[in-house]
Amino acid sequence: MGFPIAAAVGAFVALWSFQGLLCALVVSVCVGILYVAVFHTRWCYVAIKTVPRDLYALYTYMRIMWVTRQMSKKNLTIPDIFHDVVNRQPDKPCFLYQDEVWSFKEVEDFSLRVTAALKAHGVKKGDIVGLLLNNCPQMPAIWMGIARLGAVTPLINTNQRGNALVHSINVAKCDYLIFNDEYMTAIQDVQSELSPSLKLYKFTHRPLNPSNPKSQNSGDAVADFTNILETTPPADWTLANADGFEGKLLYIYTSGTTGLPKAAVISNARFVFMATGIHFWRLNTSDVIYCPLPLYHTAGGVISVGQALVLGCTVILKAKFSASQYFPDCVKYKATAAHYIGEMCRYVLATPPSPADTQHSVRVIYGNGLRPQIWVDFLKRFKIKYVTEFYGATEGNANIANTDGTPGAIGFVSRIFPSVYPIAIIKVNQETGEPVRDSRGLCQIANPDEPGVFIGKIQAHNPARQYLGYVDKTASEKKVVRDVFKHGDAAFISGDILVADELGYLYFRDRTGDTFRWRGENVSTTEVEAVVSRFADQRDAVVYGVLVPNSEGRAGMCGIVDVDGTLDLDKVYEDLAKNLPAYARPVFMRIMNSVDMTGTFKMKKTDLQKEGFDPSLVKNDKLYYLDLKQGRYQPLGPEEYKKILSGDIRI
């Protein structure tokens, strides 16, 4: 009987020990929870508020990375990925354009015809074939045909002329250039400044007629590319003769708001990441997507076109953006999603009410640049259910998205999982834009509600974290900051001033070069532009800082478009005085007939800033200065200009 008694005693002791251990564990957990609740109450509040958002974002991020990883394992390029989509749905509409309907099979057949034609004309792996084409279904089909040969395609801004056009062609080192026939004059004007070895091909947008191609003189300096396609049968489909998933696919140019545009490198991996990065938030493969953006830019040419090429959606292409036709087009083509960028939403909101405002089937809009001041009004008027506002630079790796529709936010950083997606806002010198470092020489993270520059940590073999930069390696290096979180690491520095609130939501403030100091305060041009535009009946408004002799910092100057001469400056000032602090109110006004815009609806201000408030440089626009005594804007001519310079008129 001794053994059973000893066993029973041992079991009792073990059970008591286990219960004691369990009890101690429970007590420890309770104490821990109590400690956090008492001493970190605010953290608990933030965690409870943001956990659903962060977990949903983490789940979506994992989906994006899983898709890109599968394609990476197979080492596929975009033409290869598109072929798989075609096999699944050959007859489904891929692109809708005007009255044309292009099925997925028709797009690939055209692409294979391009591959055969260019191969016969000597295009090979590693060549650079520039495209200067208007929006049309043939454009992505052409660059896919080029990519199948292993060549790279720079997508050249169709608004470029003269020196800017020469720069775009030469900086990419183009061996070939395919351009729309309407740009023949533009090419001829600069042909003497282009490489003599550059081979030119003119493209005409017309239905192909292989049975009766137009004749062409073989001695012509510019070959008729459309005619060549008509006389060339499609190539047999094969995997692309390229450098695979990580290989270069496109060069896409920055918008050129300051200086000449720079050619950013887009790999197959980055193309897939950007397309899927938008798709998995609110889109699905059955969506019909309206895209009125230029296809030479990342927004239209990668993010929206990618919904068709990678995910199998139907994409509506528009030759040119029209505010009045935005929602009527969505009704006409039965769009379920729509893309916007820059000032588009403000222009659409300024159009007269129309039945199309609510007759459309668009449930989600996505893009970047929807101003906080019109966010709610836009959704309310047009009955839009979801907005996916995102942020990202063509050349960079710092990409974020507003996943839950918080008005005004461009994305978020997780407060409870900060290391999962390595992005951050770092403190910078507001004057120079240089990072502020601690005693160890590392960058400092900005506190909640403290403005800073947005960065993304660089990781070479992660499509979400790669930094491919520009074709110009010197320009690429200028966008890299080193020794960020630890010594030896590196990050892409965006140059954009953002601010994060307590919950981690991110809000755009300005570009580092656009923010200026006046009366000892930092002024955000973006914020002032939004306020001025609102009180000037949604007119275009561009704000910039100008130097004034014997004054510290830069005085604010605002250019406002007033085509019909109905702008009431006195009323505008009254509204600004109520809604802007004194240091942020524009000191000078310039009334203009128009303002230069980039192809992605960003306002150019470099030339305006150079001309400043000097009447001898501003020939066709009216200038005004703020008379503080009278509380109104007064005309500014040569006499007033001299008095401002001498200090007789104080500003």
Cβ–Cβ < 8 Å for 487, 96: no
Highest mean pLDDT among 40-49, 188-197, 430-439, 515-524: 188-197
**What mean pLDDT, rounded, does the chain reach?**
88
- Average pLDDT on 118-132 reads 97
- Please tell me which residue, 597 or 635, carries the higher pLDDT value: 635
Q: How confident is the model at residue 229 (pLDDT cuts 50, 70, 90)?
A: very high
- Burial (Cβ within 10 Å: 0-12, 13-18, ≥19) of residue 467: buried
- Average pLDDT on 205-216 reads 78
Strand partners, 508: 498
Q: Is the pLDDT of residue 108 over 60?
A: yes
Question: What is the model's pLDDT at position 524?
Answer: 79
- How far apart CA 589 and CA 610 sit, in angstroms, is 15
Task: Kindly report, residue by residue over 347-392, the tens digit of the pLDDT.
Answer: 999 899 999 999 999 999 999 989 888 999 999 999 999 999 998 8
Q: Is the pLDDT of residue 18 over 60?
A: no
Q: Is the pLDDT of residue 116 over 60?
A: yes
Q: How confident is the model at residue 457 (pLDDT cuts 50, 70, 90)?
A: confident
Q: Is the pLDDT of residue 415 over 80?
A: yes
Q: How confident is the model at residue 26 (pLDDT cuts 50, 70, 90)?
A: low
Three-state SS for 550? coil
Q: How confident is the model at residue 395 (pLDDT cuts 50, 70, 90)?
A: confident
pTM of the model: 0.81
- Average pLDDT on 291-316 reads 97
Residues with Cβ within 8 Å of 1's Cβ and at least 6 positions away in sequence, in order, are: none
Q: 238-263 burial string, b = 16+ CB within 10 Å, else e?
A: eebebbbbbbbbbbbbbbbbeeebbb
Using only the alpha carbons of the chain, give its radius of gyration: 29
Highest mean pLDDT among 192-196, 288-292, 555-559: 288-292
Q: Is the pLDDT of residue 22 over 80?
A: no
Q: Is the pLDDT of residue 174 over 70?
A: yes
Q: Is the pLDDT of residue 233 over 70?
A: yes
Tell me the torsion sign for CA atoms 637, 640, 644, 649: negative
The CA–CA distances, whole Å, from 515 to 214, 398, 511, 522, 616 equal 56, 21, 6, 7, 26
Structural domains in the chain, CATH included, are 65-320 (3.40.50.980), 420-458+476-510 (2.30.38), 514-646 (3.30.300.30)
- Average pLDDT on 573-602 reads 84
The DSSP secondary-structure symbol of 181 reads G
Kindly give the residue spans of alpha helices, DSSP state H, lying in 248-403: 268-282, 298, 305-309, 326-332, 344-349, 356-359, 372-382
Strand partners, 401: 390
Three-state SS for 115? helix
Cβ–Cβ < 8 Å for 411, 506: yes
